[in-house]
Structure 1
Amino acid sequence: MLHILRPSAKKMPKLIEEWRSKPLTYTEIGCTRFEQVPPGYNKDKHRILLGKGESTFDKAKCAIQNWKMYDLGWMDVHRPVAPIQEGEVSVTFIKLFGIWFSAIPCRIVYTIDETNNNKSLFGFGFGTVQDHPEIGEEKFLIEWDHNSDSVYYEVCAISRSGHFLTKCGYPVMRCLQKRFFRDTLQSILRNSKVD
């Protein structure tokens, strides 16, 4: 679904409800959690050291909860008001050539919030819903390694083209994906600095 103008705030609840009931566009649900790459998909994985200690982990976790990974200037997200939970729908908008366009729906397919003796993990994965120009899943994860006290942010995507425009414009889509990965790492790094 291509929008040259962003859908109005009045239309968003109706669109969200439609996408909540539409099917996911792939069957390998949860593939990013364990980084299993189905045949025919691209895998992109990027990881950055955010700092050390519990306070860095807490700030990074808060950044994910507030969707700061999309605080990029050229990308915006209409996100659930509810806490991150399975089944919630988000819609991304991209600004290209000075115009906001495209309504890109995803649905949260799993959440991660666990601690064991060696690590604390927080994040979620969401998958593409019908009307998304790509097919696949993306994971956003904060990891606190208790042994080294290091805190990392990781984004992992498994995707392939799902629309004739993304197939025709494949090099452009890959450039946008690479830009997103670079910028999201910097956004979470900025938003997890401890004063």
Structure 2
Amino acid sequence: MSLTYPHVGATRDGELPAGWRHVRRRVRLPDGCFAVAGAAVLTWRLHRAAGVRITADAPRAAPGVRVTSGLGVGPARLLAPCEVVWAVDDDRRAGFGYGTLPGHPARGEEAFVVERDDAGRVWFEVRAFSRPDRWLMRAAGPAARLFQHAYAHRLARTLRRLCARAPSAPPPSPR
């Protein structure tokens, strides 16, 4: 199976292609949570904690890893197969972008990135571009766009909660 859209990797640096629906959600996370937040994103923990059923062929996001997200229950579960097209894990950024595969209700790419800025503040951003691909998304119209924005908001809230529950770093020892 191959990706269902032409702009592979466009979510990596934030310049999204014209003519597609765009989603951008950027929120500040608690100070000092970069490692916890990055690990939650890269290991699918964020998505699972947000109530998304994730099936992945690797425990961490990396280029080429196939992922299927499932929302809903039983026969009403909507499956969305994707493939990770890029990933980053360094001292400033941790995250990945994945693109749609055949069978996904939309075509496009979505990225989930934790970033530490020059001042040490920690940010989480969801960025995506998409178009409907299956009848369900076309029929949903504006409700589908609203769902995409609500999903990004839910992920941001969930990651803030995961960071708040993580044990804080011990204070520096006195010299």
Change (3 A) 1:36 1:149: closer
Question: Aligned to 2:78, what secondary structure does the other structure show?
Answer: strand
The corresponding residue for 1:158 is 129
- The question of 1:45 aligning with 2:17 is answered no
Alignment of 1:120-159 (within 5 A): 120-145=92-117, 147-159=118-130
Q: CA deviation at 1:60?
A: 0.7
CA distance in 1, matches of 2:150, 2:45: 16
Tell me the secondary structure at the aligned position of residue 191 of structure 1: helix
Cα RMSD of the aligned pairs, angstroms, is: 1.8
Please state if 1:176 is matched with 2:111.
no
Which residue is equivalent to 1:87? 64
Contact (CA 8 Å) 2:81, 2:101: kept in 1 or not? Answer: yes
Distance 1:47 1:68 in 2: 19
Which residues in structure 2 correspond to 1:20-99 (within 5 Å)? 22-53=1-32, 56-70=33-47, 71-73=49-51, 75-95=52-72
Task: Look up the match of 2:90.
Answer: 114
Report the alpha carbon displacement of residue 49 of structure 1 after superposing the two structures with TM.
Answer: 0.9
How far residue 181 of structure 1 moved from its aligned partner, in angstroms, is: 1.0
Distance in 1 of aligned mates of 2:135 and 2:19: 16
Letter in 1 for 2:107: I
Q: Does the Cα contact within 8 Å between 1:42 and 1:158 map onto a contact in 2?
A: yes
- Structure 1 alignment gaps of length 5 or more: 1-21
TM-fit CA distance, 1:99 = 6.1
Aligned partners of 1:37, 1:83: CA distance in 2, in Å? 25
Distance 2:115 2:64 in 1: 23
Separation of aligned partners in 2, 1:94 and 1:100: 8
Q: Cα offset for 1:128?
A: 0.3
Aligned-pair identity (%): 28
- The 8 Å contact of residues 43 and 61 in structure 2, kept in 1 or not, is answered as no
Q: State the SS of the aligned residue for 1:52.
A: coil
Q: Equivalents in 1 of 2:38, 2:16: separation in Å? A: 26
Partner of 2:171: none
Q: Deviations over 1:72-127 (max 9, x none)?
A: 23x3221233332110111111117x864122100000011234xxxx11111000
